[in-house]
Amino acid sequence: MALRLPWPLPALMAWACAWLIFVLLQRAVPPVAALLVACLLGTAASVLGGNWWRRGLIATGFPLSLALLGVASLPNWAWLVPLAMLLLVYPLNAWRDAPLFPTPRYALQALAVQAPLPLGARVLDAGCGVGDGLKALRHAYPAAQLDGVEWSWPLRLLCALRCPWAFVRRGDMWAVDWSSYRMVYLFQRPESMARAAAKAEAEMAVGTWLVSLEFAVPGVLPSAQLRAPGGRVVWLYRMPLMRVEE
């Protein structure tokens, strides 16, 4: 529900909570420790932002306002804390893939009709973030064995807590072997799709599925398309891929 709050409410709520935590903690702990906890809260709340600049505003709003007001006596290095927090949640080597794009809850509700899977089939959410895609996949395939892989260890931990019924691991989605999966689900970005298709062709068996929310594979004919609630398109590709003839 919080993910649907209109902008800038997520930012205002995160900043207010960070300030409240900071003020209360200063009575019991040193200022640097209070800053650390408040920045951790702001960074965790940054997942509520719908794009990179909103996530950055949420995460950095509190420390920037603290610096402008000059209400705390902190060492110079303490201002590196917010940056370190952001790098933990959004590692630099993962920036070439999608930022945090949460899958809408019922976006995949009709997927099983177009792409039926046997009971116990293994399904991978590649780049699972905080688990929204896994939740949507579970709604579509309640009897499937769901796996998730996420590079950011804080997001991986949060995903595992939210989806205890799935096997969630920290790792590089491009290094994970896709050959044992009957379906691989992605909600990445357009620039990632050609690479995903090449990996799927190289590793996935005939008859398995590559599924993408929102973004199509360039130069490949989809096996089916679904219109998700909210107007988004789900692209389904069955192996082997059907290339567009030029």
Under the banding of pLDDT at 50, 70 and 90, the label for residue 74 is low
pLDDT at 61: 74
pLDDT at 39 over 90: no
Q: Residue 150: count other Cβ atoms within 10 Å of its Cβ.
A: 27
Cis peptide before 99 (omega within 30 of 0): no
pLDDT at 3: 45
Degrees (nearest 5) of the Cα angle 242, 225, 241?
15
d(CA 222, CA 137): 19
- Per-domain residue ranges for the chain? 2-89, 111-243
For the residues 226-237, what does the mean pLDDT come to? 88
Share of the chain above pLDDT 90, in %: 45
d(CA 104, CA 110): 13
Share of the chain above pLDDT 70, in %: 80
pLDDT at 97: 46
Burial of 210 (0-12, 13-18, 19+ CB in 10 A): buried
Shortest CA distance to 103 belongs to which of 140, 75, 73? 140
pLDDT at 102 over 80: no
Q: Regarding beta strands 224-227 and 233-238, do their DSSP bridges make them parallel or antiparallel, or are they unpaired?
A: antiparallel
For the residues 196-204, what does the mean pLDDT come to? 97
Q: Which residue has the higher pLDDT, 232 or 239?
A: 239
Burial of 18 (0-12, 13-18, 19+ CB in 10 A): buried
H helical segments located in the chain: 9-25, 31-45, 52-69, 81-89, 111-114, 132-140, 153-162, 190-203
Q: Which residue has the higher pLDDT, 112 or 84?
A: 112
pLDDT at 180: 97
For the residues 25-32, what does the mean pLDDT come to? 81
| Amino acid letter, residue 46 | S
d(CA 209, CA 77): 49
For the residues 30-40, what does the mean pLDDT come to? 80
CA end-to-end span of the chain = 45
pLDDT tens digits, residue range 45-69?
777 766 666 777 777 777 777 766 6
pLDDT tens digits, residue range 150-191?
988 778 888 999 999 999 999 999 999 999 999 999 998 888
Check: CB of residue 157 under 8 Å from CB of residue 151.
no
Q: Which CATH architecture has domain 111-243?
A: 3-Layer(aba) Sandwich (3.40)
pLDDT tens digits, residue range 119-149?
999 999 999 988 999 999 999 999 999 999 9
